[in-house]
Amino acid sequence: MSAKEYRTARSARGGLLVVEKAPGIAFGDRVLIRDHRGRKRNGLVIRSAGNSTLIQVYEGTDDLDLESTWVRFLDQPLEISLSPELLGRIFNGIGDARDGRPPIVSSIRRNINGSAINPAARTYPRKFIQTGISAIDGLNSLVRGQKLPLFSGSGLPHNRLTAQIVRQARLVDEESSFSIVFAAMGVSHSDARFFEEDFASSGVLGNVVMFINLADDPPVERLAVPRVALTAAEYLAFDQDRHVLVILTDMTNYAEALREVATAKGDVPSRKGYPGYLYSDMAEIYERSGRIRDRHGSITLLPVVSMPSDDITHPIPDLTGYITEGQIVLSRELHNQGIYPPVHISPSLSRLMKDGIGRDDTRSDHPSVASQLYALYARALETRNLASIVGADELSGQDRRYLEFAEKFDRYFVGQGEDEDRSIIETLNLAWDLLSMFPKQALTRISETDIAKYHHSGKD
Amino acid sequence: MNENTGRGIIREINGPIVTIRLPGVRSGEQVRIGEMGLVGEAIALIGEDAVVQVYESTEGVRPGEPVERLGWPLSVELGPGLLGGIFDGVQRPLEEIYLNSGDHIPRGVVLPALNREKIWHFVPSPECTSGSELAAGAVLGSVRETERIEHRILLPPERHGTLLELAPEGDYRLEDPIGRIRGADGRSHKLKLYHRWPVRNPRPYRRRDNSIVPLITGQRIIDTFFPLIKGGKAAVPGPFGAGKTVVQHQIARWSNADIVIFVGCGERGNELADVLETFPQLLDPLTGRSLMERTLLVANTSNMPVVAREASIYVGLTMAEYYRDQGYDVVMLADSTSRWAEALREVSGRLGQMPVEDGYPAYLASRLAAVYERAGRVETQSGDKGSVTLIGTVSPPGGDFSEPVTAHTKEIIQTYWALSKELADARHYPAIDWVSSFSGHIGVAAEWWHEKVGKKWEQRRAKALALLSRDAELSRIVNLVGPEALSGAQRWELEGAALIKEGVLQQSALDPIDTFSSPEKQYLLLKMMLTIYQKGADLIELGVPVQELRELPMLDKAKRAKQLFNSEQTEKLIELNEEFIQEFEDVRIEYAKFKEHGK
Ligand SMILES: Nc1ncnc2c1ncn2[C@@H]1O[C@H](COP(=O)(O)OP(=O)(O)O)[C@@H](O)[C@H]1O
Ligand SMILES: [Mg+2]
């Protein structure tokens, strides 16, 4: 490792450092910075010209005395060490141990940026992952290799829901190894503690790798967190044959850090001040999920995106939705009614659901039950709307049945306990309890055989 | 470093934009960058420096590393072996790259698009004899590229002259000479089974051709309501999850095109994997052959380098034009043109060009128009007819159709399938909104339908649309004052609209029967729904209470007909229609009796 060291830092602002007279520095090179107190900081070269090199400093550039700042170019990109020992460990955003235990020692080190999966190397995601949550499993099923974000808002229980998913998620048919990579960006100390304690007390911690960047850690470090986490996930999935569920929370904090750095660099802003490349940047992260030909493992990605002012058209959820394979949307209205998890199914969608459910994966009636529940619920919401105009008393008997359905659907199907782990069969049976409120011929999306088999009036 | 050596050095690296000093380099020329040999394109000359956009990640590249001129603009290989393949945004073969390099795409790989080892059986055209004068684009002969596609070997568009020699029928590899021609320059040129063409130049043709027919897609709301023609330009705007990609995949599957080129531009890798896994198994309803035999893919997924995303559209279009020039009807699907526009924006931003709207450069509209202009039906250089139909998706930020890419595209295209979030949320698929969608080809399509399928196409289409717009009006009233305010006839109109929506417009791409609907089936389904509506309206006129009609089981049965009978079973649909008419007749008689007794 040729370690050229310079003391020619010229300016520092907003997490960016300019170093002069450092010729021939590689773009993307990793940088070690020693400040006047001798403390180390990490950086990355984001623009390189003969006379000036621009460095993004992960720990930020606050409080740097340029005169006595030493900059060393390491001649290598930012890498992390990988081994099966990752499981059960807690790291910071750039992969240094945070749990007081020794660093991972391994001959396998990989660039955190990864490189694009060849589309011809992919295999299409298939096979159901059970989260034990009816609104997800029944209506928006998660499939191995899928990227399915959770759209939430401040004050909504996405932390409790992700923790529940981490505790409950499993593959139904096989005992193959299933692991979790959990990456937190800009979370509060109390949230970080909540997750750690929850994983520890439920006994899953040994199967989880955590990367934690706290709210008071430097924002620039947030840019590395998902990349570090996914590098670990790729190793566990494609070297170690594990099915890995990656949770990234909260991508909104990530995107805000990106905007901060972009603004400091002077990049042309597009919507709401976010750089035009926000889409590609997030895609580089999200597209690292998937399955690969001839590999046994898979990476399933569940990013949490909190929607600023609950606005789903805000660039962060919007661009996320354009990249991911569906979305699970939480609703403040349901939350205020005391329904947990407050999943609003109308805007929620799992695009890959059809490939992970049905006879071979869950049960043969699953696809049509889901489609029927969606149709009935859409109609029920219209009726609810109407009832709010003309009053429920004015409604026909048929319409009142829809109202009652919506009510029960929200309470008993979507709503469930935080410790309630429902199997997919329980979820489907629950669905039939609701469907049986309607006469058989109203269930136009379900085949006559399934109706005969599962409709309650068909059984007696 | 001088003009003759064609070599220079790197001065600055700023992401995909690299500034070099390379004397003599031309704008648009390909250059090789750095020790890794990354390929890029010179896009601007500024004083002594040139600005290069690099198709691959520049991580690890340093100022001072060498650069080299390649002497040609971005071009693609055109010859047999393209079909069934998947290429990246600059036409590198991704399957071969996978076999050579594994799961991830390495940088600096140089692999030709077309397999050099493969042997093709060439049959020369009988009229191509030594000494004959050949015009540019002449058909030299053909090879069978796939079971269904005869690949015509063309004289490159800029070549013409006297044929000196043409190889006899036999087996050849791509690099084997198959003939010689004396060009206008008096020199002799070797001919091969393939040639190259620069992607940013549209391939020439004799003239635009106006004999137009609809492209049949098997999708009812498209063919029956908002038809597209062969050689047409269409856009599919919609927020995420509304169904843009499904619309395109459905067209790739079921349309009556000869060749389909799908360009995955800045979208998901899994969507390409989906095509690669399912198409070989799917059979074309027209020929019964595997769909992959007519399909080729260009992939620059959202995680692949942005600069190659900009190129991918041109790479796809050039291959489309090449098959058009062989006399085929080609459909090119670009998903998504917004990502292409964003790639343009990113490069222009890095060049410090003045942004005009939402950060896009001023030339966005003209570039978009130039891309769509490459669609069309033409008389080819060799006198044949061929077409390129271009269908682009648009991904407006926040689903706001007034944003620049959607707005400019709308000005350019003739067929517009606007996807609505409301419909998609209600799981009404395809979520093509019949109010804001349009087609400029109703007249042309009507001629075709009236001749091939039935005389009442245009009339029924208009009736259905009228019913749908009544539905919107009446629903507004219901939402204001409740359903009690409507008369029986008006409530029946709502039922009629529901029949159109559920029985005709909604079409599941996932249902094995419903996924494709022949024109005959489309025609009969629409007829059935309108018949039910009309018969019911007549009875209401006679005084039959609407509630009685709404409870008729035939309504649900009619809505299910699309899934019960496939495109071959048209006689079943006709029978069902008769059955329904009979049922109405029974209701009428029953009611007449009832009235009689009542008196
Ligand atoms: N015609 C259709 N039939 C059935 N499902 C559909 C149809 N169109 C869209 N969908 C559903 O909508 C989802 C999103 O569609 P997609 O085309 O991927 O959206 P977009 O490209 O607009 O983001 C699909 O995964 C599928 O579940
Ligand atoms: Mg899409």
CATH of the domain at B132: 2.40.50.100
Lowest mean pLDDT among A34-43, A309-318, B326-335: A34-43
Position B90 in a domain: no
Residues of chain B with pLDDT under 50: 1-3
Say if CB B346 and CB B274 are below 8 A apart.
no
Measured in Å, residue B250 CA sits from the centre of ligand 2 at: 12
Whether residue B222 sits in one domain with residue B162: no
With contact defined as beta carbons under 8 Å apart, do B6 and B69 qualify? yes
CA gap A266, A268 in Å, rounded? 6
Same domain, B433 and B355: yes
Over 70: is that where the pLDDT of A174 sits?
no
**Cis peptide upstream of residue B545 (ω within 30 degrees of 0):** no
Nearest CA in chain B to A351: B241
| pLDDT of A2 higher than 60 | no
Angle at the Cα of B558 from the Cα atoms of A371 and B444, rounded to 5 degrees: 100
- Tell me the CATH number at B23: 2.40.30.20
Residue B357 placed within a domain = yes
d(CA A7, CA A67): 7
Asked if B266 and B392 touch (Cβ cutoff 8 Å), the reply is: no
Domain match, B308 and B389 both: yes
> For residue B477, what are the CA distances in angstroms to B324, B424, B474?
52, 23, 5
Q: Are residues B216 and B178 in the same domain?
A: no
Domain A5-73 has CATH 3.40.50.2000: no
For residue A108, pLDDT beyond 60: yes
**Which of A349, A357, A445 is the pocket-test mutation for ligand 1 (most atoms within 8 Å of CB)?**
A349
Residue B364: the pLDDT is 96
Q: Are residues B473 and B564 in the same domain?
A: yes
Same domain membership, residue B146 and residue B222: no
Give residue B170's Cα distance to chain centre.
35
Domain range enclosing B228: 207-440
Single out the residue in B170, B193, B216 at which a domain terminates: B193
Same domain, B359 and B258: yes
Q: What is the pLDDT of residues A423-443, one digit of tens each?
A: 999 999 999 999 999 998 888
Contact A118 B395 (CB under 8 A): no
- Identify whether B223 is part of a domain: yes
Mean pLDDT calculated for residue range A284-290: 96
- Is-contact A330 A341, C-beta < 8 A? yes
B103 part of a folded domain: no
pLDDT at position B299 is 95
Nearest CA to ligand 1 atom 15: B243
The CATH number that applies at residue B353 is 3.40.50.300
Q: Is residue B200 part of a domain?
A: no
Residue B156: per-residue pLDDT: 94
Residue B61 distance to chain A (closest CA, Å): 5
Question: Does pLDDT of A175 surpass 70?
Answer: no
Q: What is the domain-level CATH number for residue B521?
A: 1.10.1140.10
Q: Are residues B434 and B465 in the same domain?
A: no
The verdict on B254 and B367 lying in the same domain is yes
Domain with CATH 2.40.10.170 in chain A: 5-73
Residue bearing the bigger pLDDT, A420 or A382: A420
Give the model's confidence band at A460: pLDDT under 50 very low, under 70 low, under 90 confident, else very high: very low
Answer yes or no: is B410 within a domain: yes
Q: What distance in Å separates the CA atoms of residue A142 and residue A325, rounded to the nearest whole number?
A: 10
Give the per-residue pLDDT at A14.
82
Measured in angstroms, how far is the CA atom of residue B336 from the centroid of ligand 2? Answer: 7
What CATH fold (topology level) applies to the domain A79-355?
A: Rossmann fold (3.40.50)
Name the nearest CA neighbour of B409 among B599, B593, B244, B585: B244
On chain A, the residues whose CB falls within 8 A of the CB of B400 are 313
- Whether B547 and B407 map to the same domain: the answer is no
In a domain, residue B198? The reply is: no
Closest chain B C-alpha to A348 CA, distance in angstroms: 8
Domain count, chain B: 4
Q: Could you report the per-residue pLDDT of B488-539, keeping only the tens digit for each?
A: 999 999 999 999 999 999 999 999 999 999 999 999 999 999 999 999 999 9
CA atoms within 13 Å, Cβ hemisphere of A207: 18
Kindly report, residue by residue over A133-146, the tens digit of the pLDDT.
Answer: 999 999 999 999 99
pLDDT score recorded for residue A458: 58
Residue B594 is predicted with a pLDDT of: 86
Using CA atoms, how far apart are residues B82 and B95, in angstroms rounded to an integer? 12
Same domain, B396 and B499: no
